[in-house]
């Protein structure tokens, strides 16, 4: 990057910090756990959300913000499940930014427990942008390979939870969940790791319990972690 480009990028990151703090403050004040879901495209973020809708009762107390380059498809999938969902189309940008979330906060239903934000699919750029979430969850699916935590460390370093997704495929592919877990913990020893299949439901209840625990621990202070 040229020096001028670096300065512009630093300004963007700085203004994102302020916008993220504001999102976090507002959502924590309302007792809402905001979750930023990050992964490569196709790791199973939307499918996991579809399953969570059935598990996180009472219904109607969660909302979803979807981020994609193009199309309204993921928001439509969640709306089909009865969930209020907004779609941000970045038109090419590889990640969401906090002010995109901030603009939608006034539209959210008044009584919420959880706000899920599905980030644009990739393990690189989203890791650099705090969205004002209180919990960052990274998914790594079996078909992607167990070597990814060391190759894309920032996504794993800045998350609090790792979901090893598509657990139903683990016996069929040369994917070693123990290696994925070990190497992710070498990058970030504080990660809480879950093995989940949205298809069979394996591991879902443990992950849901983790979400409830995180919500119960919410405090009004702004603990920025990204």
Instruction: Give residues in contact with ligand GDP (CB under 6 A).
Output: 39, 41-47, 121, 165-166, 168-169, 197-199
Select the binding partner of residue 42 from ligand GDP, Mg ion, none (C-beta < 5 to 8 A, by kind). ligand GDP
**Residue placing its CB nearer to ligand GDP in the complex, 24 or 166:** 166
The answer to whether the beta carbons of residues 108 and 132 sit under 8 Å apart is: no
CB atoms < 10 A from the CB of 161, how many? 19
What is the rounded distance in angstroms from the CA atom of residue 226 to the CA atom of residue 215? 18
User: In degrees, to the nearest 5, what angle opens at C-alpha 37 toward C-alphas 31 and 40?
Assistant: 175
**Residue 164: contacted member of ligand GDP, Mg ion, none (CB under 5 to 8 Å, by partner type):** none
Output the smallest distance, CB 96 to Mg ion, in A.
Answer: 13
Shortest Cβ 172–ligand GDP spacing (Å):
9
> Shortest gap between Cβ of 74 and ligand GDP (angstroms)?
6
Q: For 86, which DSSP code?
A: E
Q: What is the C-alpha end-to-end distance of the chain, expressed in Å?
A: 22
- Look at residue 203 and give the partner it binds from Mg ion, ligand GDP, none, a contact being a CB closer than 5 to 8 Å depending on partner kind: none
Applying CB under 5 A, the residues found at the interface with Mg ion are 45-46, 74
**Distance from the Cα of residue 117 to its chain's centroid:** 6
Cβ 44 to ligand GDP, closest distance in Å? 3
């Amino acid at each position: 990057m040229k020096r001028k480009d670096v300065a512009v990028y630093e300004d963007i990151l700085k203004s994102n910090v302020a916008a993220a703090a504001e999102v976090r403050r507002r959502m924590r004040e309302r007792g809402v756990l905001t979750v930023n879901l990050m992964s490569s495209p196709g790791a199973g973020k939307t499918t996991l959300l579809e399953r969570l809708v059935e598990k996180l009762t009472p219904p109607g107390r969660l909302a979803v913000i979807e981020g994609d380059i193009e199309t309204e498809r993921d928001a439509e999938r969640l709306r089909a499940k009865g969930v209020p969902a907004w779609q941000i189309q970045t038109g090419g940008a590889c990640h969401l930014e906090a002010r995109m979330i901030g603009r939608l906060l006034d539209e959210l239903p008044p009584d919420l427990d959880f706000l899920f934000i599905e980030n644009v699919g990739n393990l690189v750029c989203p890791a650099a942008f705090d969205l004002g979430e209180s919990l960052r969850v990274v998914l790594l699916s079996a078909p992607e390979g167990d070597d990814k935590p060391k190759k894309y460390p920032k996504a794993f370093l800045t998350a609090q939870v790792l979901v090893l997704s598509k657990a139903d495929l683990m016996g069929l592919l040369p994917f070693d969940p123990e290696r994925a877990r070990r190497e992710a913990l070498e990058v970030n020893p504080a990660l809480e790791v879950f093995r989940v299949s949205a298809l069979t439901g394996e591991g879902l209840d443990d992950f849901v319990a983790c979400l409830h625990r995180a919500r119960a621990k919410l405090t009004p202070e702004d603990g920025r972690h990204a």
